[in-house]
Amino acid sequence: MTSIFSADGRNVACTLIEAGPCVVTQVKNVETDGYNAVQLAFGERKEKNTPKPLIGHFKKAGTTPKQKVVEFRDFRVEFEGQVDLGKTVEAGQVFIEGDFVDAIGTSKGKGFQGVVKRHGFGGVGGQTHGQHNRQRHPGSIGACSWPSRVFKGMRMAGRMGGDRVKIVNLRVLKIYPEKNLLVVSGSVPGPKNSFVIIEK
Amino acid sequence: MSELIKFVEAEYSEARTKFPSFKAGDTINVHVRITEGNKERIQQFQGTVIQRKNPNSNGETFTVRKVSNGIGVERIFPILSPSIEKIELLREGKVRRARLFYLRGRQGKAAKIKEKIRHRKDS
């Protein structure tokens, strides 16, 4: 992340996203697949690290093996003609400055966390007045003889992070088409140099 | 730092050299562009620099303190902000620390900063 200044002099926090060049590896339509979609591939990958079936799939599109393959449902009509098998899609073709986009990624793993961090519980409160060593505990998880069980979905401690997260309505502040670089406002899920899906 | 971040931040490298170099203890006059409705005018803010924060980053700021009608006023400016028109360096101060928060508790003569005397060799 970094920050840039907007036209009205505000310092805006922003994230840089390398959004291309993507290669169209498959075009799905209603007749053959039952729905319309475009499959895009991004990022170079060595051939020896690529599964054989995928190598064949990339060969069909006439490209080198790629790292990430993602399907986009109902690619917009205005891009028709640009999205044929084997064609490249650049960031400058799809996005313009001022667009609102959604970013989908896998959030950073936080490990096994307690209820205060994981679910925003308040904790117990005070440390005095006879309070023992239970400052960040969940408290009661239900009643006694009825229902004699813990309800499903009760919020408890456990693994946190590493989920698929979607951040909506990030503004595209700037585009560098020659570098396929998007500058979007705010933060996106996941660690540095991770993959995110950008939807318009 | 990532190459791409450097690439984006390089755009502001020119703005960084636009102003004279100043540090904590110096007295400066900042010309700020202010929009009121549709009109734009320049406002001046003159005072002592009491700190520079996050140097060499896009978010670098400096704090200017002045005493106006007996009331201390501090203003924080982002150094790369496009609304800063001009910075004038009026007086260099001789101070022993980078953050002059001790000025907040002082008044009158006690809040005075000695002027830095430049010898001929330096200049």
pLDDT tens across B87-107, in order?
999 999 999 999 999 999 898
pLDDT at A77: 63
Residue A138 has which token pair?
């969940």
| B4: chain A residues, CB-CB within 8 Å | 16, 18, 179, 181
Q: How far apart are CA B103 and CA B37, in angstroms?
A: 36
Of B4, B9, B11, which has the smallest distance from its Cβ to A181's Cβ?
Answer: B4
* Angle, vertex CA A64, rays to CA A63 and CA A67, nearest 5: 115
pLDDT at B51: 93
Answer yes or no: do A2 and B5 touch at CB < 8 A: yes
| A11: chain B residues, CB-CB within 8 Å | 58-59, 78, 80-81
pLDDT at B74: 95
> Is 80 exceeded by the pLDDT of residue B66?
yes
Residue of A nearest to B80 (CA): A5
Alpha carbon of A33 to those of A38, A41, A60, A157: distances in Å?
Answer: 11, 19, 18, 42
Answer yes or no: do A183 and B8 touch at CB < 8 A: yes
- For chain A, the average pLDDT equals 88
> Is 80 exceeded by the pLDDT of residue A71?
yes
Q: H or E segment at A158? A: strand A158-160
Q: How far apart are CA B97 and CA A109, in angstroms?
A: 41
Query: Is A22 within 8 Å of A94 (Cβ atoms)?
Result: no
> Is 80 exceeded by the pLDDT of residue A75?
no
Å from B49 to nearest chain A CA?
Answer: 21
Å from B42 to nearest chain A CA?
Answer: 14
Å from B66 to nearest chain A CA?
Answer: 23
Å from B26 to nearest chain A CA?
Answer: 25
| A18: chain B residues, CB-CB within 8 Å | 4
pLDDT at B118: 78
pLDDT over 90 for what percent of chain A? 34
Of B2, B8, B33, which has the smallest distance from its Cβ to A4's Cβ?
Answer: B8
Answer yes or no: do B80 and A5 touch at CB < 8 A: yes
Mean pLDDT of A192-196: 90
Tell whether pTM > 0.95: no
| B33: chain A residues, CB-CB within 8 Å | 9
Q: How far apart are CA A169 and CA A102, in angstroms?
A: 6
DSSP per-residue letters across A65-118: -EEEEEEEES--GGGTTT--TT-EE-HHHH--TT-EEEEEEEPPP-EEE-HHHH
> Is 80 exceeded by the pLDDT of residue A78?
no
Q: Would you call B83 an interface residue with chain A, using a CB distance cutoff of 8 Å? A: yes
Q: At which residue do the structure tokens 């005075």 appear?
A: B112
Cβ atoms within 10 Å of B10's Cβ, excluding its own: 9
B13-61 residue pLDDT tens? 777 788 888 989 999 999 998 888 888 899 999 999 999 998 888 888 9
**CA B69 to centroid of chain Cα atoms:** 21
Answer yes or no: do A11 and B59 touch at CB < 8 A: yes
pLDDT over 70 for what percent of chain A? 97
| B8: chain A residues, CB-CB within 8 Å | 2, 4, 16, 174, 176, 181, 183
Mean pLDDT of A55-66: 87
Residue of A nearest to B15 (CA): A5
